[in-house]
Chains A and B, each alone.
Chain A
Amino acid sequence: MALFMDHLISWMIAIPFLGIIILAFVREEEKIRWIAFGVTIVELLLSLILWGNFDFAQQDMQFVERVVWMSTFNIQYAVGVDGISILLVALTALLCPLCVLCSWTGIKTRVRVYLSLILLVEGAMVVVFTALDLFLFFMLWEVTMIPMYFMIILWGGPNRIAAGLKFVLYSLTGSLLLLVGILGLYLNGGHTYDLLVLTEQTYTSNQQFWLFLAFFLAFAIKMPMVPFHTWLPDAHSEAPTAGSVLLAGVLLKMGGYGFLRFCLPMFPEASADFAPSILWLSVIAIIYGGYIALAQSDLKKLVAYSSVSHMGFVTLGIFVFNSQGIQGAVLQMFNHGITTAALFISVGILYDRTHSREISDYGGLHKPMPKFVAFFFLFSIAAFGLPGTCNFIGEFLVLVGTSYVSLAMVLISIGGILLAAAYMLWMLQRVVLGEPATEVAKMLPDLSKRELATLIPLGVLVLSIGLYPGPLMETMDASVIHLIQQTIGPEVTELSQLQFGP
């Protein structure tokens, strides 16, 4: 038992990779699907065990494991979780079984490879969110890119090759900047890659400026912040359903996680200096993403642009440097993972039936597919943050946090929420209401049991987090306070001391 509990994170890392090895030896497609599903479920159970044994009161890293890897460079295999990363690990573990489920019938070619790629992303993501060594972090950060690329180019839509290339070139530019930043940190922080040691160091303003810039750009591309977002609509809309779910649900969170783990605690001065511009960029992203989403005729593109807008809330919350803002941002990351995944899965369900993503090809879905429409409606209203759904809590907290800094930003961001309501409801109106456009549309089968099993957990989460976010907040409370103390000094816990207008 000690072998299990002391190495819980390592088990979580190992199990997807073991799953890939097992898949390599199985021949029957049906068995492959069930094994992959089983592996992701085991991973989910492990993440729940991890959560169950997590001590909410502690602000430090827990479940820490350290093994020397390359002694000449002081590189270790070091993993651990705190209140922020455990949520993202749980999110990853939650979405992966759904990814396997939602590609059950949609993916017919090279099933084994497809499911192995999902498992590979899962394993790599767990490492990224738990790594306490920058080299390990970077290595797996890069590794997440390869399976995503292959998922896009092998199973994607008509423009998949261009979209895949765009995705890789953007990600690479970002990650190579990250590499430069990490090397700079290594040299200025006493020749170590240990995250905790590096966080303890202080850096001169000049060092902070350049290091912040390198890290910031890397994470801003991943996030993606406007104006670095142009890879996202293509990659999201061309990727197969599970690919979009992983991209939107988990991979984008690496950017926000990076801000919280590196930029804020390590370079507080530079963060404060850059904060005004970043906040305005976030506000622009909220409005711009919503505005462009309004104009989309492609369902997946619409959801993709809404992601840009939602990610604006995340950066907004992070860079106001107060507990409401940051808690809101982390919640928003978690919730966005759930609602966007749910929306992509819903669109995938439609696509499996009609092979079209055009909004104009749909209409009157409420007649043939009432169960589906109920879920789709729930996820859409959650996406624009109706009170009672999960997104509301996150966006609300972010806006409360922002109000300490600038009321103008709050007002503009509320405009973004209105835009979200507009594009989501308008989309619902065109897709769900009215009369079915064609004879075929009238005959569309409603949700199968498998599809229900995919959507029900998401629906339950959307409502339960919306009504009772307590457990999530408690989990990260101590870590968020600790993070803020690292960023703007120990005395501040509630209100931000940063004020700038208007």
Chain B
Amino acid sequence: MIPAPIVDLVSLSPVIVLSLFAMGVLILDLFIGKDKTVLVFLSLLGLFLAAVSSLAKGTGPIYSFSNSYVVDTFSIFLTFVFAISSALAIMLSVSYNKEQGIKIGEYYSIILFCTVGMIVLASSADLIMIFLGIEIVSISLYILAGIRRTEKRSNEAALKYFLLGAFASGFLLYGMALVYGATGTTHLKDIASVLASSEFKTSPILLMGVVLLVVGFGFKVASVPFHMWAPDVYQGSATPVTAFMSVGPKAAVFAAFFRIFVEGIPNISDYWDTILCIVAVITMFVGNLGAIIQDNMKRLLAYSSISHAGYILVALIAKNSLGMSSLLFYMLAYAFMSFGAFAIIIILDKQNGDNLEVKDYAGLGFKHPVIAVCMSIFLLSLGGLPPFAGFVGKFYIFSAAVKEGYITLVVLGVLNSAISFYYYLRVIVYMYMKEPEGDYQVQPSLAPFSLLVIGIAVFGTIELGIFPGPVISWTMN
């Protein structure tokens, strides 16, 4: 007889709270008029409560639902990262949606549902839960990518993302099935203990499954060679959605990636470690070299985000406790700097996607010095220059990798940081050096929420860069 699973609603509380709020937003949307501001506040409240409720269980790893759901520092920290990134995305959307005429209340509720998926993903200790989480996240993102229904590019983005994403989910599921077939279980802990005995290690079914998992996850985090969708989707989506996609969901998928590879199948790391090293290196190179030739800011940041996926993969390859904590730290740091950069793109964005070219930033340094300084901070931080968060994040990741002896990987990563400066500096050069073509017309739309996002992002980028101590000790727990 199968024992009934232990139902532990307290550890599930962030998911429950957020789902309730998401549905509440959905229902309330029916009763209010065109002004959706109240939904914004409701969503922010939901995110806040979800983040707080994640602390209810303490920090020790607590397994529930037949060991398929786990609350530990990893998941709690990521819940906070998700809550912050979703909140930033929602705040950024307020004025953007008004200007672009996106009057859909479901928008906010979908972001919340997506966040639910992300939390599930970060907290799952079972292949099936992971798949469930990935699907919740992905389906929400397909919708978000196509939220500007009348826009051609937006439709292209959604369709492309959906078709390729569905394929990737197929790969992922197939990989999981093969791993299950080889080990006889879907629990990550059990998979690890089965693989501890040597006889299963070289089973071709298992290795095939691992390769398919790499393909599936590789697609979801946009690592090379599965990155083709990213620039188009990032460019086509509404900018707040792009910012959101490049941070929260990516962090969530990385969390699951980490859980499976480092907690589930570390015993066969000899087999997957080389694959991931190669993927990490080409991801960094393709991302950075691709970004050099971009003229569109959103595409530039899309390629930059591809290269950052490469750096994060290095943390995963290190597969030690430093690697885990550096991954967490980097996620938070990346959330701040990426949202900051996107926030500035948004306030300079005009209707119909004007003002998105790098050359539109010419002269910004003199007309709007504060905005230009903030943008410089975000770009320098993305490049990994002290005293900003990006530097500490990279430093941390590279220390984790060096500790495990991946010197070549670190040297290549470091070299890539140097390459990346070329395109980050190019934007700065445009802002301060070039004269605008014709009259200077860019009029930033300084909505209070957008300014708040920029303020938070600047604060986070500098704070994590100079006093990373408290956050690091939290992630080390």
Contact = CB atoms under 8 A, between A and B. Distances in A.
Contacts of A169: 418, 421-422
Contacts of B473: 71-72
Contact of B407 (A135, A161, A180): A180
Interface residues of A, number: 33
B98 interface: no
Interface string A428-468: 00000000000000000000000000000000000000000
Interface in A72-111: 72-73
B386 A154 contact: no
B414 A143 contact: no
Contacts of B278: none
B469 A161 contact: no
Interface of B: 380, 385-387, 391, 395, 398-399, 402-403, 407, 410-411, 414-415, 417-418, 421-422, 425, 429, 432-433, 468-469, 472-473, 476
Contact of A72 (B380, B411, B425, B476): B476
Contacts of B386: 138-140, 142-143
B398 A179 contact: yes
B369 to A, nearest CB: 9
A183 interface: yes
Contact of B468 (A70, A138, A150, A161): A70
A153 B429 contact: yes
Interface string A150-182: 100110000001001100110011001101100
Contacts of A165: 422, 425, 429
B476 A143 contact: no
A183 B398 contact: yes
A146 interface: yes
Contacts of A187: 399, 402-403
B317 to A, nearest CB: 15
| 5 nearest CB pairs, A to B | A176-B414, A139-B386, A172-B418, A183-B402, A70-B469
Contacts of A186: 399, 402
A161 B433 contact: yes
Given A146-B380, A173-B415, A183-B398, 12 more contacts: A70-B469, A71-B469, A154-B433, A161-B433, A165-B425, A169-B421, A169-B422, A172-B417, A172-B421, A180-B402, A184-B402, A184-B407
Classify the interface of chain B: helix, strand, loop or mixed.
helix
A150 B376 CA distance: 11
B385 A146 contact: yes
A158 to B, nearest CB: 12
Contacts of B421: 168-169, 172
A69 interface: yes
A72 B472 contact: yes
A142 B385 contact: yes
B469 A180 contact: no
A71 B407 CA distance: 25
A146 B386 CA distance: 10
12 contacts: A70-B472, A72-B473, A73-B472, A142-B386, A143-B386, A146-B385, A161-B429, A179-B414, A180-B398, A180-B410, A183-B398, A184-B402
A69 B414 contact: no
Interface in A116-139: 135, 138-139
Interface string A243-272: 000000000000000000000000000000
A179 B418 CA distance: 12
B472 A143 contact: no
